[in-house]
Every structure is written in structure tokens, then in C-alpha cells.
Amino acid sequence: MTGRSELPIGRRMAQWRVRRRMTQQALADRLGKSKSWVDKVERGARALDKFSVIQQIAEALRVDPAVLLGQQSPSTSGGTTPDGLDGVRAALARYGLFQVPECPTATVDLGRQLGYAWLTYQHARYTQVVRALPGMLDAAQAATPEVRVQMYRLASSVLVKLGEADLAWLAADRAVTAAGGDRTLAGAASISIGSALRAAGRERLALAATIAAADRLTAGRSTAELAVGGTLLLQAALAAGTCGEVRHAGDLMNRASECADLFDIGDDPHRTCFGPVAVELARVVAAVEGGDAAEAIGRHEVVIRRDGWRRLPAEYRGAYLLDAARAYLLAGDLAGAGRMLVNADGVAPAEVRVRPSGRTLLAEIARGRPAPAGVARLATLVGLTR
């Protein structure tokens, strides 16, 4: 059964499984099926011809059966395309079509614009970043390798936020190319590769790319190498966990923790936000993706009391609070999930109101009965009332 959409139902099932950060085994366990059964359905090797089974899958994935059947667009992924997104796409398409001789003054000005754009991103003002990116991406083609890497990484980061994973992957790949033979710059670009691949549901590719880059850096002891290498290990750990490689994910987390213990928190030239708190937050996210709500919530309630939590950028904290909301939702604590979501909106409104995954989570929690305090009002403000 494929409904009205050309996309097979198995593919839609796989997409929603990835959005819910569930492995095939986790979904199989919820359905009382084998992992092989889930894999065959997603590949189209096994047909779904019973509506009762489709209803069961929809319940496990927390979507309407009509969404799986392609008969209804998920209102949760709504929201308008930010102004400038088409411009970003066009700027990436113009890559290599022209080269302007490098001008020192222009490079300095672009560096200042880039610094401001990163700060804007870290304050979760994504639509402002998107509007500024097209012109900056064109100008960056004649800039230094470091500026080009940072520019493409910024583009990749905001595109991940806006649900444009494939375009984010392209921008991240441009960052790797711009890094040339610089090991640390290439590692920083690989952070963006890992993030984009994970957003696209390509966890195994993300795992391979980030581990290879981390292994080249974690032997170093400079602040930049430890920050970039440690962040790569966190990306790899999250990818491994989503692939169901729990033990491997734990080993990678421990390696990242060792880097954090050696890391002298100070300047963060590659904007990794790495440190002991980042490692603990990643452990919470890994527990959520592994389906262990109790561990996730227990760790969450400890880590947010640490001093380093408040020093993280608004974007970082807002994104993490969405994961914390998923932990409470997984535990069946609708009020706790709503509290985390409202907190995320207070820290970084765009994470909830602009980011597609945030809107999805908001609509899901708002459907609960009774809807948690503040969530119904927020859903109305965002236009997600049902």
C-alpha cells in the first residue's frame, strides 16, 4: 500500500523511524517483530497490506496512519521556508564558477562578518544567518582556507537546523575541500560532515567519517586538536548508538571524556563548545537514542546543575533541551516533556518555532491530553493547533 504519495510506505516508515531517533531493532521491539521484518518493509521487500499493522506502526512512530500512507502531510513539519534559503542553494551551486583575486582588506571585512554571523547563529537567529549567507558564500571563494572552512561549516550548521540535510552535507563537503592539508581545519570540517550525515539518517557513514578524522587529531595535545578531536568522538558515539552499537558508543564517549579532562577551556576558534559538560550532555542524548529514558533523565537532572551549562550558547542549550523533552516523552512524562519544550523556547525560540524537528516535537506534545501547561499556548502561537 502506497497511498497517494509516490514514496513507498516502507521509505516513509524509515524516514519517521530516523526522525524518532530509533534503530530498526528498537522499532522491531515495539512492534513485537524481528529486525529483519522491519528491514524488509523499509526496503520494500515485504508489503504492508493490513491496515491494522499500519496503525500499529504509526502508533509506535507517534504519527497519524494517514501520514504513513501518504494521504496527509504531517502538520508538524510545517513552517515557511526562511527568506534566503534559495539564495544559499544558488550560492552553493555557483561554487568554482568564478574566483576573485584575494584582497587583504576584503578578507578582514569578511572575517568580521563571519564572526558576527557565527554569534548570530549561536543566539539561534537562524533566519538572519540564512539571509546573510548567499553574499558571504560568494565572497568566501576568494578568502583564506580558514575563512572558507568556517563559512561552509556555518552554512552546513544552519542548513541542518532547517531540515536541509543533503544541502548541509554538500556545504560540509565544501568545507573539507577548503581545508586542504591542514589537519585541524579538516577535522573541524569533518564535524560538520558527521552532523549532516546523521541528520540525513546516514549514521554508518557519519561513524566512519568522524572516527577517521578523530584518530588523526586525538593524539595531539593542543587546545584546538583536543576540542576538534573530542567533538568528533562525540559525533561518532552518537552515530554508533543510533546504529545499535551501544558498547562502541560507550567506548567513544569515554575517549571523548579523556580529551575533555585534558582540555583547557578558553578560546574556541572552531566553535565546538567542547568540554566536560558537552560530553555529559552527549551521554544524555545517547541514552535517549538508545531508548533508556531513566538513564537519560537521571543524567539530565545532574548535568544542568553544572556551572558549564549556563556558559553554553543559546543554540546549543535549546537544541539539547529538545532532546531532554524527548527523554521525558519516552518515559511517558508528558508534563516533563512540556516543561523542557517551554524551557527550550525560552532559551532559543527558533529551535521550537522554526526548526522542523522542534515543530514536530511541539505538535506531538500538544496532542497529549491534557496538554502540558504552556505547550497549548505555544502551539497556537506557532500555528500548530489541530
Domain ranges of the chain: 9-73, 83-199
Q: Which amino acid is at 283?
A: R
Q: What percent of the chain has pLDDT over 70?
A: 90
Question: Binning pLDDT at 50, 70 and 90, where does residue 231 land?
Answer: very high
Asked if the model's pLDDT at residue 102 lies above 70, the reply is no
Predicted confidence at residue 224, as pLDDT, reads 85
Give the CATH fold of the 83-199 domain: 1.25.40
Calculate the CA dihedral of residues 344, 346, 349, 351 and round it to 10 degrees: -10
Asked if the model's pLDDT at residue 112 lies above 70, the reply is yes
Predicted confidence at residue 239, as pLDDT, reads 92
Number of Cβ atoms within 10 Å of the Cβ of 234: 29
Asked if the model's pLDDT at residue 315 lies above 50, the reply is yes
Average pLDDT, the chain: 87
CATH superfamily of 9-73: lambda repressor-like DNA-binding domains (1.10.260.40)
Predicted confidence at residue 75, as pLDDT, reads 46
Predicted confidence at residue 4, as pLDDT, reads 38
pLDDT digits (tens, 9 = 90+) for 319-362: 999 999 999 988 989 999 999 999 999 999 999 999 988 888 88
Q: In this structure, is the dihedral angle defined by the CA atoms of residues 121, 360, 304 and 26, taken in order, positive or negative?
A: negative
Asked if the model's pLDDT at residue 219 lies above 90, the reply is no
Predicted confidence at residue 294, as pLDDT, reads 95
CA 118 to CA 122: how far, in whole Å?
6
Q: In this structure, is the dihedral angle defined by the CA atoms of residues 333, 339, 344 and 350, taken in order, positive or negative?
A: positive
